[in-house]
Structure 1
Amino acid sequence: MVNEPRRIPKFPPPPTVTAAVLFSKVWEGVYAVGHDGRPLTLAIVDSAGKVIESGEAVSRDAWMRALDSYWLHLKEIGVLHDYGSTPPLQPWHKKKAARAA
């Protein structure tokens, strides 16, 4: 089970939310609209039905957690590499920088 290759679905599963449409865009994050086009607010609701938090902060945090999850997945399958910092300047870059100064 540990050495099994990851199965990446070719198409996303069909939406299961019926009262709204969820969207995500790189420049806007996660947001929802009703079927009539009205913007909706994302919220965190506890098991008793009480709204714990809602609004832009929830949308932004949901987007950031989704990105974190995706980046970790890319690292796991070897597509994304983390070098920790920028590589040191090569000797020819140092000479150019010294001449420009």
Structure 2
Amino acid sequence: MANHEGLDEVFVALADPTRRAVIGRLGQGPASVSELAEPFPMALPSFMKHVRSLESCGLISTHKSGRVRTCALNRERLDVVEGWLAAQRRVWEQRTDRLEALVTDQERP
């Protein structure tokens, strides 16, 4: 069985649309917290809760330089999700292949 350690934490973090949007933006490159927060109608302290959630599960890392906190995507952390999805895809492809074989056999006279 593949190692899917931390999968639940990542899915919980990705369950929120704001956090998914932040991940999508960071896929283009690092950004400051203020840049990331700009499109969202919430106060900065509320937005920081999203940043901390993403950071605590390892999806992003942050570093502070002076007064600016910059966030960067940890692409390797997304591998746990990709691995789980690939395993699920294999299971469902096998099931549909068996169903197709069964239907094809039933159609033959």
Fold shared per TM-score above 0.5 = no
Relative to total residues, which structure has the larger helix share, 1 or 2? 2
Taking structure 1 as the reference length, the TM-score comes to 0.31
Flag the structure with more relative contact order, 1 or 2, with Cα contacts below 8 A and sequence separation at least 6.
2
Structure with the bigger percentage of strand: 1
